Amino acid sequence: MKRILSIVLCALLLLGCAVPCVFAETVKREAKVWYTADFDDGTPGIAQRRTDGGWDVSFSYVDDDKGGQAVYIERGKNVANASEYYYCGLKIDLSAMLSGTDIQSGEGYSVGFRAKAAPGETIYVMPEFYGVNPVPEEHKAHLYVDGQKVLFEVTGDKWTEVQLGDYFFAGDIYKGTTFGNAATEGFLTFITCSDPEGRTQTHDDLYLDDIQVSAPTDTVIPDATPFTETFEAQPLGPCGESEIASVENEAAQQSPAGGNYVHIQPAGATRLYYHNVNAAVRAQGAGNYTLQYWARADKNVTLYALETVSSTYRYQAITTEWTLYSAAFTVSEDELTKTVNILFATESSDCPDVYLDSISFDREPGELELLPEGDVNLNGAVDVCDLVRLDGILRRLDGYTETVKADVNRSGAADEADFTGLRDFLLQKATLPAAREVGDANFNPAPISRALRF
């Protein structure tokens, strides 16, 4: 109903209005793994023995059936005067995560692990946050799904695997609040029980492996900034570790771009200048790229630009006048995980002095990417019709198939945040990222300016 009212309001206010777009960075909400214990090195790592009430607990390490090791926790060796505690075993200090996260509505902490009981045994394992402080009145929290406490059946004949992200700690389950936002310290432990409801706790031995704990956090995803080297930020003198190149800015020698440039004196060398572009291609993704650069030489010479992973050569006849050159390359998905360099070289052993300036390496946008963000129905305009389309997508109505532009805030999935952002944008409360424009080589869609994302 709220979404319908939003659509109506937008329609009333925006009928006939034009909507500008701007370009911005993305803040993505995603799970971050704070703690991992796999025991493969034969040590407890971040885990500690928990010996509440005087119980003797011992750790040993066994084969985990995956080529590594798991921890075997022997419990129940009650020393003199020990109280009847059933919480002995293993614990992990969660204080850094609890104090460093801000859990929002509908979110929670998650735990993943592998567990196995002693041979021939069947028990029920209950992960628990305990010693959470400060929390009003209550000091522990369990995994809950639909209001029901979750325990996991664990047998001695095979490993039980609980995937990270499948279940979440509900927070202060008794008060309905999010305990993580108040807490600054606490621990994770594993309780064993003889029944699936957790009414009767036990001292059974337990095997544990591959423990992970995660919490949702904000991850800032920078705009897909291309590689650009203008040499303005480099000091005059030797260019990096190169023995044949130096950064200069003599006015009579400057390119039309002005400022610093790099002067290469080959002295018989054939590899003149290279630059790593990994950050640029990983930010922008696979696709067709354009290399642009200003160049001139003391006499005419043929240079080639080489993209080192694919070994793609692009030859250019460099003249004695500053000229803006360009060359096309393709970067594959496979190359995104490799070292990608752009190399300027020559096949001439007597190459003259060469000058380079304002080198850029930028992915060309695809056809759909040229459409503005928020154009959910892909018709080239952002208006209330896109809000209607997005509402249908989120409600999974027949005929409302998801489009590449439904993920308005580029978080990785179309969700309520996209609807809210698009609605507020249409009401002029917020701004959307701009589409790339053809020929926008420096990824700066002037006169469009940056603005905060909704």
Contacts of 380 (CB under 8 A, 6+ apart): 371, 372
Beta strand 47-50 pairing with 89-93: antiparallel
**CA gyration radius for the chain?**
30
Residue 182: name the closest of 286, 111, 67, 101 by CA.
Answer: 101
Residue 363 CB coordination number (10 Å): 23
Contact 209, 39 (CB under 8 A): yes
Q: What is the pLDDT of residue 363?
A: 82
Burial 121-156 (b: 16+ CB within 10 A, else e): bebbbbbbbbbbeebeeebbbbbbeeeeebbbebbe
Q: Which residues are 13's β-sheet partners?
A: none
Q: Which of 248, 149, 159 is nearest to 210 (CA)?
A: 159
Strand partners, 264: 245, 354
| Confidence at residue 255, expressed as pLDDT on a 0 to 100 scale | 93
**According to the 3-state scheme, what is the secondary structure of the chain?**
CHHHHHHHHHHHHHCCCCCCCCECCEEEEEEEEEEEECCCCCCCCCEEEECHHHEEEEEEEEECCCCCEEEEEEEEEECCCCCCCCCCEEEEECHHHHHHCCCCCCCCEEEEEEEEECCCCEEEEEEEEEEEECCCCCCEEEEEECCEECCEEEECCCCEEECCCCCEECCECCCCECHHHCCCEEEEEEEEECCCCCCCECCCCEEEEEEEEEEEEEEEECCCCCEEECCCCCCCEECCCCCCEEEECCHHHCCCCCCCEEEECCCCCCEEEEEECHHHHHHHCCEEEEEEEEEEECCCEEEEEEECCCCEEEEEEECCCCEEEEEEEEECCHHHHCCCEEEEEECCCCCCCEEEEEEEEEECCCCHHHCCCCCCCCCCCCCHHHHHHHHHHHCCCCCCCCCCCCCCCCCCCCCHHHHHHHHHHHCCCCECCCCCCCCCCCCCCCCCCECCEC
Q: What is the predicted pLDDT for the residue at 140?
A: 54
Specify burial of residue 389 (Cβ count, 10 A radius: 0-12, 13-18, 19+): buried
pTM confidence score = 0.47
Which pLDDT does position 143 carry in this prediction?
58
Question: Phi and psi at residue 306, in whole multiples of 5°?
Answer: -125, 125
* 34 within 8 A of 89, measured Cβ to Cβ: no
Q: Fill in the amino acid letter for 54.
A: G
CB-based contacts of 389: which residues, under 8 Å, 6+ apart? 376, 377, 400, 403, 406
Residue pair 406/387 in contact (Cβ under 8 Å)? The answer is no
Q: How far apart are CA 295 and CA 306, in angstroms?
A: 16
Q: What is the spatial distance between Cα 438 and Cα 365, in angstroms, rounded to a whole number? A: 7
Residue 236, phi then psi, degrees to nearest 5:
-65, 145
Asked if residue 381 lies in contact with residue 375, where contact means CB atoms within 8 angstroms, the answer is yes
* Tens-level pLDDT at each residue, the chain (454 residues): 555 556 555 554 444 443 333 333 445 677 888 899 999 999 999 999 888 766 678 899 999 999 899 999 987 655 555 455 556 789 999 888 888 887 776 677 888 999 999 999 999 998 888 777 765 444 455 555 545 677 899 999 999 999 887 777 754 433 344 455 667 788 888 988 899 888 888 878 899 999 999 888 776 544 455 678 899 988 899 887 788 999 999 999 999 989 999 999 998 888 888 888 887 787 777 788 888 999 999 999 898 887 767 777 889 899 999 999 988 888 887 787 778 888 898 888 889 999 999 999 888 765 555 567 788 877 777 888 888 888 888 887 776 766 767 777 776 678 888 888 888 888 765 555 554 443 333 334 333 222 222 2
The answer to whether 200 touches 194, Cβ cutoff 8 Å, is yes
Domains and CATH numbers, the chain: 2-21+372-426 (1.10.1330.10), 29-218 (2.60.120.260), 227-363 (2.60.120.260)
CA-based max dimension of the chain: 93
Residue type, 283: A
